[in-house]
């Protein structure tokens, strides 16, 4: 495996993969499994992408873990249930044929991951799925990246980091390679069979978001700060059809990540120790597992919007309210336009009590764990302040204490008067807010994922607006969503890994023809 600062040899490859996240590594492995010479180029200093920072759920029907749990499940049922997650107007835009095909392949991908030594717990339920389908990797999503990186190396594939692909190379109407800057040095790299785009989404690219979704969303960030839509722009540059570019998962409010590494990052992700953890996890009582993963839960999950309906307030750094907290997406857009793009959540005594026990929780990973007020005090002291003196709490977090206290007093006055406040918010409660208080934050508005991508066929070939494949170009993961809507936990990771696996197989198993009429080198001469 090439080290991040080592320039790869420029003597040709069968396949070049642009992006070293889950989909890119899966594609690279599938190519290398078939004897292909593969080069994976990752723009950042290490592989991972959005897959590497996710919780790690993989949702699939017909898996071995389901059979072990006596769950009879089928991809056709999964396809029907998958249509119930997104709002009807969004679901109507889904590419049903491609999603049905994908869900029919997801279980095979799950077994492929298990064969690489990965361990899973579950399956866990997530309504409206009719049966448990959500499988969670142990100890977390970084296990995918670590295991696949090692597998790629074992098979002779090359991974190069700090490699910025700037352009697709073409000969006639065929994509033949990439131009890339590696550790500051420009070069051109050829691929006899083709290029696979696996560069992630565009959730943190303000210009792309503003162009397709609207200028008012341009200041909202992506949860992955490196999600800049490079693969989408490369595909578009050679005539690909991009679809659903205005569809996003979010915006939603999330607490800023802790500077501390999540506990699961300290656990082994491969080898004997990881397999032992996986076996133990499957045998632990459910309450132990919930407690075990709760630290991860309070790190990544978003606060439930029900808290705003129950009376929670948002303050900016000046200690002022700035929006009707119950209105989405106006709430998230307004947060992104505050100083520092941050806000703070204020809970009073009644709300603290309400969100300290089921069924009212601050955040959740469905049917795995629920985090309450006391969990945030214990596990996220960096975003949690608690006490009877509101002014002191505000000052501790850098908010203007006088304005903050006055803001709460003004809100209480509207409650007593039983009238809407200055932002048009009607009171959800009729008793004034009172201490003790909990201040949660800072919060920011984020896009979790984007649902736009290049149109692809079942071989993951990129299509132009007429539906014709662009020769030599494939797209996987968020680059090759093909018009699908993948709402619900575990579908994006399942698609990333499945599409990578299938694209690597298709590009190596297909009868690719070069412009001179010859077949490319079959890749068996050198690994």
Q: What is the DSSP letter of 478?
A: G
Extract the residue ranges of the chain whose pLDDT is less than 70. Answer: 1-7, 9-11, 258-301, 365-369, 428, 511-527
Q: Please tell me the distance from the alpha carbon of residue 456 to that of residue 390, in angstroms, as a whole number.
A: 55
pLDDT confidence of residue 279: 52
- Kindly state the helix (H) or strand (E) to which residue 6 belongs, with its residue range: none
Q: What distance in Å separates the CA atoms of residue 73 and residue 382, rounded to the nearest whole number?
A: 43
Which pLDDT tens digit goes with each residue over 122-131? 899 999 999 9
HSE (side-chain half, CA atoms, 13 Å) at 96: 8
What angle (nearest 5°) sits at the alpha carbon of residue 457, between those of residues 451 and 462?
75
Note whether 13-250+448-509 and 297-447 share their fold.
no
Q: Torsion angle, CA of 297/298/304/305, rounded to 10 degrees?
A: -130
Cα(first)–Cα(last) distance of the chain, in Å?
Answer: 11
DSSP assignment, residue 53? G
Q: Who's near 164: CB < 8 A, 6+ residues apart?
A: 43, 180, 181, 182
Q: Classify domain 13-250+448-509 at the CATH class level.
A: alpha beta
Looking at residue 107, its pLDDT comes to 98
pLDDT tens-digit map of 324-378: 999 999 999 999 999 999 999 999 999 999 999 989 999 875 445 688 999 899 8
Residue 10 CB neighbour total at 10 angstroms: 12
* 8 A C-beta contact, residue 53 and residue 229: no
Cβ distance 256 to 244 under 8 Å?
no
Number of DSSP helices (H) and strands (E) in the chain, helices first: 17, 23
**Token reading at 373:** 């007020």
State how far the Cα of 66 lies from the Cα of 152, in Å rounded to an integer.
28
Rounded Cα distance between 255 and 362, Å, is 11
Cis preceding linkage at 18, omega within 30: no
**CA angle (484, 486, 491) in 5-degree steps:** 125
Q: Is the omega angle on the peptide bond into residue 128 within 30 degrees of 0, that is, cis? A: yes
> Are the CB atoms for 56 and 493 separated by under 8 Å?
yes
- DSSP-derived letter for residue 437 is E
Q: Considering only CA atoms, which of 136, 482, 484 is closest in space to residue 282?
A: 136
Cα gap 212→266, rounded to integer Å: 39
Per-residue tokens: 341: 């793009």
CATH of the domain spanning 297-447, picked from 3.70.10.10, 3.40.718.10, 3.90.700.10, 3.40.50.300: 3.90.700.10
d(CA 347, CA 179): 53
* CA–CA separation, 440 and 335 (whole Å): 14
pLDDT (0 to 100) of residue 370: 80
Of residues 300, 309, 292, 424, the one with CA closest to residue 368: 292
Quote the tokens at residue 48: 């991972």
β-strand partners of 437:
387
Res 371: pLDDT = 86
CA 105 – CA 250 distance, rounded (Å):
27
Other residues' Cβ atoms within 10 Å of the Cβ of residue 501? 23
Domain boundaries, the chain: 13-250+448-509, 297-447
């Amino acid at each position: 495996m090439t080290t991040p600062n080592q320039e790869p040899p420029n003597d040709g490859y069968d396949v070049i993969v642009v992006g070293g996240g889950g989909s890119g590594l899966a594609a690279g492995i599938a190519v290398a499994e078939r004897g292909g010479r593969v080069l994976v180029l990752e723009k950042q200093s290490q592989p991972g992408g959005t897959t590497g920072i996710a919780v790690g759920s993989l949702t699939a029907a017909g898996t071995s873990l389901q059979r072990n749990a006596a769950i009879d499940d089928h991809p056709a049922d999964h396809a029907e249930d998958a249509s119930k997650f997104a709002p009807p107007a969004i679901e109507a835009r889904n590419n049903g044929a491609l999603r049905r095909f994908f869900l029919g392949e997801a279980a095979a991908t799950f077994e492929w991951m298990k064969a690489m030594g990965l361990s899973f717990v579950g399956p866990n339920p997530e309504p409206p799925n009719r049966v448990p389908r959500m499988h969670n990797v142990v100890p977390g999503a970084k296990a995918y990246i670590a295991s696949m990186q090692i597998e790629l190396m074992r098979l002779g594939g090359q991974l190069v980091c700090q490699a910025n692909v700037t352009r697709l190379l073409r000969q006639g109407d065929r994509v033949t390679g990439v131009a890339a800057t590696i550790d500051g040095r420009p070069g051109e790299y050829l691929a006899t069979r083709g290029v696979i785009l696996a560069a992630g989404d565009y959730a943190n690219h303000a210009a792309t978001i503003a162009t397709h979704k609207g200028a008012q969303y341009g200041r909202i960030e992506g949860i992955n700060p490196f999600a800049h839509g490079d693969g989408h722009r490369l595909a578009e540059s050679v005539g690909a059809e991009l679809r659903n570019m205005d569809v996003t998962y979010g915006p939603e409010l999330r607490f800023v990540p802790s500077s501390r590494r999540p506990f699961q990052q300290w656990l082994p992700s491969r080898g004997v120790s990881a397999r032992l953890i996986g076996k133990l996890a499957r045998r632990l009582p459910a309450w132990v597992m919930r407690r075990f993963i709760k630290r991860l839960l309070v790190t990544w999950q978003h606060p439930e919007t029900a808290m705003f309906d129950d009376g929670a307030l948002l303050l900016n750094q000046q200690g002022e309210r700035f929006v009707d907290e119950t209105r989405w997406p106006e709430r998230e857009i307004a947060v992104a336009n505050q100083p520092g793009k941050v806000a703070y959540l204020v809970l009073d005594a009644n709300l603290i009590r309400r969100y300290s026990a089921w069924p009212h929780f601050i955040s959740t990973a469905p049917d795995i764990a629920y985090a309450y007020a006391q969990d945030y005090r214990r596990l996220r002291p960096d975003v949690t302040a608690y006490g009877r003196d509101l002014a002191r709490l505000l000052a501790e977090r850098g908010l203007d204490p006088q304005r903050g206290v006055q803001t709460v007093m003004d809100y209480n006055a509207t409650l007593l008067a039983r009238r809407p406040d200055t932002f048009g918010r009607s009171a959800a409660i009729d008793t004034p807010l009172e201490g003790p208080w909990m201040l949660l934050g800072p919060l920011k508005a984020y896009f979790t994922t984007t649902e736009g991508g290049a149109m692809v066929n079942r071989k993951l070939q990129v299509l132009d607006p007429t539906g014709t494949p662009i020769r030599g170009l494939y797209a996987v993961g968020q680059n090759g969503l093909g018009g699908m809507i993948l709402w619900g936990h575990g579908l994006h990771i399942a698609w990333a890994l499945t599409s990578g696996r299938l694209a690597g197989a298709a590009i190596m198993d297909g009868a690719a023809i070069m412009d001179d009429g010859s077949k490319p080198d079959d890749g068996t001469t050198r690994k």
